[in-house]
Structures are given as structure tokens and as C-alpha cells.
Copies of this chain bind each other. A is one copy, B any other.
């Protein structure tokens, strides 16, 4: 696929001489930053070769993609509704693919409008209100539940699995629940894999070397996508094309390297610890939340790789243009200079909506007529980027091009590669997440899990209550 169709990055608005008042010196881009990236690139290459960052290999794993496609075609597509039960990386990738590649009204009751592909739902939180409402609208005999958990023991996911299993037994009859499940889990370990074996439930693997937040291009993201008719082969092709584009140690030609190096420098040298990811397309909303986990969980680390205490990592902030100009732009323009904005822009959709020229004598309206909604939305993006530039507020833009399966895959790979480069630049391991263990242990203790002591928690104190 033509490399010129891949997402590209325009970072002029953080370069000195373009950005008002400050910015990165161009010489440093070619010199010091390029050298810094070469070192990071080498470190990442070494980890790739030992097989640690398994997501790099997913675009080439044709057998796994074929298995995913086969299970989708034989099972997952043959239902009225597919419900993903997962959390974190086991849900956010599917949600990003859904937002990007399915029409907004996909879950409308008119199944014919989606070519009789299943509606797609994501249960990602053990909230009884949400769960009850969803189950009440599903036909159990026409619904499949795709439980996604690499470990097979994720507390929230397994709780929802138990609830749904009981609901299916109650509504369909004893012994029937197992016929309504598909699992996506570790190839060998964990409770889901054991249950799959015991009850003969179809189960796809998340390869061992692919962590949760890096799993969108594995069956974790691609099975639900394929079930809804998304061209997962095109997603993988786009990802593969971007991976090839991002393989060079030359910063000037590596988009992921550029993204990582500039955002790392913006944080560690220029104080931009808050990194706003702001797509100007409702279709990329899910993508921004996927980026949030990827960025925060990979880079927010207490210890560096030498075991020194660093407590580092930027704070990703999803925002949505143009609506969030009306929530956070005031802060971006006038507040502390601790932020950098990464806009995501796209080219015009195939079908746009005209803004008619009505009420020509109303001064507040006349200038709008003759334009289109996308024309307005994209001008707002450019105007906002320019306003920030004039205010000396760093920003860059990822131009996505068309929003399709190929570019979606390319975007996922761009950011995944960027975050492992960023890990090397920050000196941390981007692949682990030790900080979440204490909360899990305390939760199990509060739930009375055997082997977990009931945690000692300071009781509420009326002095600290109002």
C-alpha cells in the first residue's frame, strides 16, 4: 500500500520560529534529538528481536488472522448481537474500531441496515444499571458473548461472565450457556482457557508477548471487528505498512519516532507533562481513549530500567473537537504552560452535509451558508491550532487521511511503536504495569478472596468529613 496514504505528522507548531515565543530549535531536531532517537531505536530493536514486544508481529501473523476471520464467519457473525465483555485493553481496542469503522447508528434495531451483521455492545464496567439495561434488550438465543481477558482472571470481566452465564442458564435452560460464548484469552493459562477446554467453548489466543493495551490487532480487537463485518485484513495491512514506515532509525523519516521524541522532549525539557489528544472527528473518539491507556499505562512508571526511582510519565488527556473547544480551550490558551496538544485531523468524508444559506439578513448566520459541516469542523481545527500557536502553546497534528480500516490499523501501529520508543526515551519499561497490583490485591481482600487478607483501611474520621 502506498506509503503516502499513511497518516502523517505535521509538527511545525512546536518548532522555534513557528511557535510564538518558544519552541524546539530546528538544529536540535537534526542533531541531538536525532541521536537520542537512534539510541532509543536500537534499544527497541533489541527488545523486538528477543520477541518481547509481540504486537510488532501481529500484522504478519496470517494464521492468527485467518483463525479470527474463520471464527467470525462461522460463529460471531451468525448472531443478532455480539457483546464484548472486557476491560482496559480488552475493550478499548474494540471500541476504537467500532467508533472508527462502523456507522454511528450501527446498533439501531434495523438489522437489514447493517447487512444482518450483529449489533456490537461492550460491557466494560461492573455497573448493575448498565448491565441490567443491556441484558433486558438482548435475545439470549440470538446473542453471543465474547469474553476477553488475557489472564482469564480479570475480576470485573469474570464477574460479568458469571452474571451472564447464570442469565443464559436461566433463560435458555441448563447446559445451554456454554453455547453462547466465545473466549479470547491466553493460549494456555488462566480460568477462561480452562473453561474453554472443559466446556468446548471456541477460544482464540492473545499471544503471550502481546500485553493487554497492545492487543487491539490481536483477536481481542479483531474478532469483534470481524463479526461486525470490518475488513480486519485491511486493518492489519495498514498496521504492517506503518510498521515498515516506522522501522528506520532516521528520525526525520520515522513518524512514530518523531511522535515519541517530540512528546518526550516536550515533557522532559519544556514542561509539557499533559499531552492532549484531540481528534476532530467523532469517529476517532474511541481511538483517543485507546491512546490514553496506551500512553498512561506504558509510561507512568516509578522506577526506570536500572531500578532508580523516577516517578515519570506524561498525562494523556483525550479531548474532542470541536465540542471541547467549549470546555478546555480556555485552559489550553491561558492556563499553565504544561501542555502540548496533538490534534488528529482527517480528510473530508465521502458524504458531507451542506449548511444551507438561509436567513441572509441575520448577521450571525450569513457567513455559514454555502459551507459544509466538515468544512466548518476542519476550519475549527485549523483555527484552534493557529490560536494556540499564536499564544505560544505547543501543538502538532496527525493527519489521518481517510478514516478506513487501513488507516485505523496504521494509527494503532503508529502509536504503539511510538510508545515503546517513548519508553526507551524515558528509560522505563513500557510493557509492564506493576502499579495496578496493590489495588487488585486490596479488592480481592475486600471481596473475601482466599489467600488475601482483609485489608486494614483507616476508618472514616468525622474530623475529615463535611
Contact = CB atoms under 8 A, between A and B. Distances in A.
B162 A442 contact: no
Contacts of A461: 12, 18
Contacts of A128: 349, 351-353, 372-374, 377
What is the oligomeric copy number?
Answer: 2
Interface in A416-466: 433-436, 438-440, 442-450, 452, 455, 457-458, 460-461, 463-466
Interface string A287-307: 001001100110111110000
B335 A315 contact: yes
Contacts of A463: 26
Contacts of A301: 330, 334-335
Contacts of A460: 10, 12
A119 to B, nearest CB: 12
Interface string A144-170: 000000001101101110110110000
A194 B361 CA distance: 11
Contacts of A352: 128
A382 B465 CA distance: 16
Contacts of A445: 383
Contacts of A172: none
Interface stretch (A52-60, A231-239, A385-393): A385-393
Nearest to A250: B466
A374 B327 CA distance: 31
A45 interface: no
Nearest to A460: B10
Nearest to A9: B466
A124 B390 CA distance: 27
B252 A353 contact: no
Interface stretch (A76-84, A215-223, A363-371, A404-412): A363-371
Closest 9 CB pairs of A and B: A88-B326, A300-B331, A300-B335, A333-B435, A367-B449, A293-B327, A383-B442, A302-B334, A191-B364
Given A88-B326, A105-B133, A367-B444, 9 more contacts: A88-B323, A88-B327, A127-B282, A132-B353, A155-B368, A158-B368, A166-B356, A301-B330, A368-B447
